[in-house]
Amino acid sequence: MMGSGKTTVGKILAQVLSYSFFDSDALIEKTMDGTSVAEIFTLYGESFFRDKETEVLRKLSLIDRHVISTGGGAVTRPINWKYMQKGITLWLDVPLEALARRIAAVGTDSRPLLHHESGDAYTKAFKRLSALFEERGESYAQAKARVSLEKIAFRLGHGDVSKLTPTVIAIEALEQIEGLLEEEGGMAIAGF
């Protein structure tokens, strides 16, 4: 979901693994001569953006040893899953209330899917995130690994997921990835 920390955690994972890092939204903006995602939605519509997203994921699926932060809606197209399943897919599962607080704190201007809701920033974000999760939840659950911030917070004795650092979240992600590789008979991740 938007605001879950995909880019921040993805950069940490890439650094630890000595992989390249790609943000699919940033790559789309680059192909559009710097036009922001919000502007692409306004000028060309969501379908156009999703077509660009699919093309970026197709190209990235052809290379190895990288971490990709996708847009939260990438899961809405089955073809994107085909490309993403060439690696280990990871769902950063953040409670909607926490996501809404994060997004409200920085503003909703850069979030094109939030522009049609009414109310204050938190209410707008929470309403739309709830609707998006209703649409996408089953797709997110298809990820090979799920990093539940609620579970991490509980295990560490935190009452609020906002107290978790991106590094703590990345460590949990790495542990899950290592578990998947061991289950599949692959090599374990060393060095963390």
Tokens representing 22 are 């790609």
- Stretches where the chain sits below pLDDT 70 are 107-118, 185-192
Residue 148 DSSP symbol:
E
Give the pLDDT confidence of 33-81 residue by residue, as tens digits.
999 998 999 899 999 999 999 999 999 999 999 999 999 999 999 999 9
Q: What is the structure's pLDDT at 137?
A: 94
Question: 179 and 189 in contact (C-beta within 8 Å)?
Answer: no
11: left (phi over 0), alpha (psi -120 to 50) or beta: alpha
Nearest to 98 by CA among 147, 163, 154, 156: 163
Q: What is the structure's pLDDT at 105?
A: 82
Go through the chain and tell me how many residues it has: 192
Query: 2 φ, ψ to 5°?
Result: -60, 140
Over its C-alpha atoms, the chain yields an Rg (Å, rounded) of 17
d(CA 132, CA 65): 30
Q: What is the structure's pLDDT at 189?
A: 47
The top-level CATH class assigned to 6-183 is alpha beta
Q: What is the structure's pLDDT at 191?
A: 37
Nearest to 124 by CA among 142, 151, 99, 90: 99
Q: What is the structure's pLDDT at 113?
A: 54
DSSP per-residue string spanning 124-141: HHHHHHHHHHHHHHHHHT
Per-domain boundaries in the chain: 6-183
Q: What is the structure's pLDDT at 188?
A: 46
